[in-house]
Chains A and B, each alone.
Chain A
């Protein structure tokens, strides 16, 4: 199963991010990676965590709006051109990145990139054809 990301609607207010991370802390959820996309009034916090169900439940209980999205998590070799190995075959087939963010793999030297493409199925197929390893939800949980 593909990795899954939790997203949370956040108003642009002081201390709001700290509140969310405190809720996750109190629920004993470990954050693997996060990215915040923002506008002047609000933002969407995207998170990769070790336990999606627990995170979603805890945030909902505190009244947050929570979404879950399948994402493609790909290990990228830590050398010049590493990211291009992944991106080149995709853009050549007209795939568009909607957003992406990265985190370090604690078990290796490589980075893990999290992608959301406009056509997810197609992206997955291309990566598989290229034998680029797409990290599963289980692998993310066990990092």
Chain B
């Protein structure tokens, strides 16, 4: 399968590391000189740009957190004057102040190149028609994928999120071959197609590129069976650049290649901040090494993953991160047990053969945490017999207890009772006042 940027993507490791060091040194020197936040934080840690003599020295550099970005809202993290900024994106700000990021013309070009690499890794080429259901707007997904598709030379349909019935009509009539979007929205799309009597078997898709929220292997099985395509995971976040930080290759679908000539990835223990050895799961930390407007140094993503340095059959030499398993801030502590929504999802799909439309509700009654798992019923699960429905609830609750060690009440709800978002799924409602 063709590799878009073959020189960089298949470069021997020594070459990758040499480029990384040179670009890292430049980036560190630049942010120290231009962004007061970094100067202050490096000074406090006793770090000078000239101290970075090897990639290993990066571990002495302080982390950057989401809170740091909020404190410098909106533009104080920018490393270039506004005259050079050609684009601004922002996070949704659902958990606080939004974080604002900027791009120079060259940043936009680099990003388009990274997204073109990503499309190519997913099996797309210039002959493809890309149905881009990532939201266009402040969210980086829509425009990020759009520019990458154009750079690849493919035909992009800028359909964005929402207006789902019209999307189905477009899929039927325009015959797109590549589908992009958040997995929860794509599942919603599949449901609506079903309601409209449209079978994906009759559509033209060959690959799906899904991301912007963690999704599981069982969800991949489900999506591939339903949509008749190969599904690959794309990863990115606006603080680092947007989508196109890493992607799975279609050949292996086993770990996401991090584009290491643009980003340095580390995995740390979220509690101690220590770097973890390859293979161990921890918090993903990124440093951008080519960005001009919004360079980011050792950004704590709160995403959980591990690194796999073994060479990949696809030929890319860039390190792979395992499919993100969740986020440190998604992690619920219920009666002292760490619970990730994705773990519950796996139980639902494996033991209940249930579509992943679920929501976790956590509450505290009489000083005791309670977990309610709401699961939408569908025709394959439904029975006219109350007993068998109750048995199903009990079986799922039992399996959750077995797998996660936490008691849960399972509650069947009507189809579509759980709100569908056009972007990311709301999986957790925490009513505890902690």
Interface residues of A, Cβ cutoff 8 Å to B: 5, 7, 9-11, 37-39, 41-44, 46, 63-67, 69, 98-99, 116
Contact = CB atoms under 8 A, between A and B. Distances in A.
Contacts of A64: 414-415
A65 B389 contact: no
A44 B386 CA distance: 7
Contacts of A116: 384-385
A40 B309 CA distance: 52
Contacts of A46: 384
B414 A69 contact: no
Contacts of B274: none
Contact of B384 (A10, A39, A63, A69): A69
B377 interface: yes
Contacts of B382: 7, 9, 65-67
| Chain B interface main SS type | loop
B386 A39 contact: yes
B413 interface: yes
Contact of A42 (B379, B385, B412): B412
Contact of A63 (B389, B412, B414): B414
Contacts of B384: 5, 7, 44, 46, 67, 69, 116
Given A7-B384, A65-B377, A65-B378, A39 B390 contact: yes
Contacts of A38: 386
Given A42-B411, A63-B414, 17 more contacts: A7-B382, A7-B384, A9-B377, A9-B412, A38-B386, A39-B386, A39-B390, A41-B411, A41-B412, A42-B389, A44-B384, A44-B389, A64-B415, A65-B378, A65-B382, A67-B384, A98-B387
Nearest to B379: A65
B343 to A, nearest CB: 23
A11 B383 CA distance: 14
Contact of B413 (A11, A67, A69, A98): A11
Interface of B: 377-379, 382-387, 389-390, 411-417
Given A69-B384, A98-B385, A63 B390 contact: no
B134 to A, nearest CB: 26
| Chain A interface main SS type | strand
12 contacts: A7-B382, A10-B414, A39-B386, A39-B390, A41-B412, A42-B389, A42-B413, A44-B383, A44-B384, A44-B385, A69-B384, A116-B384
A10 B413 CA distance: 8
Contacts of B417: 11
A65 B378 CA distance: 6
A65 B375 CA distance: 13
A116 B383 CA distance: 13
A37 B386 contact: yes
Given A5-B384, A44-B386, A44-B389, A66 B412 contact: no
A10 B411 CA distance: 12
Closest 5 CB pairs of A and B: A7-B384, A37-B386, A65-B382, A69-B384, A67-B382
Contacts of A11: 413-414, 417
Contacts of B412: 9, 41-42
Given A65-B382, A67-B382, A116-B384, A9 B390 contact: no
Contacts of A65: 377-379, 382, 414-415
Contacts of A37: 386
Nearest to B414: A11
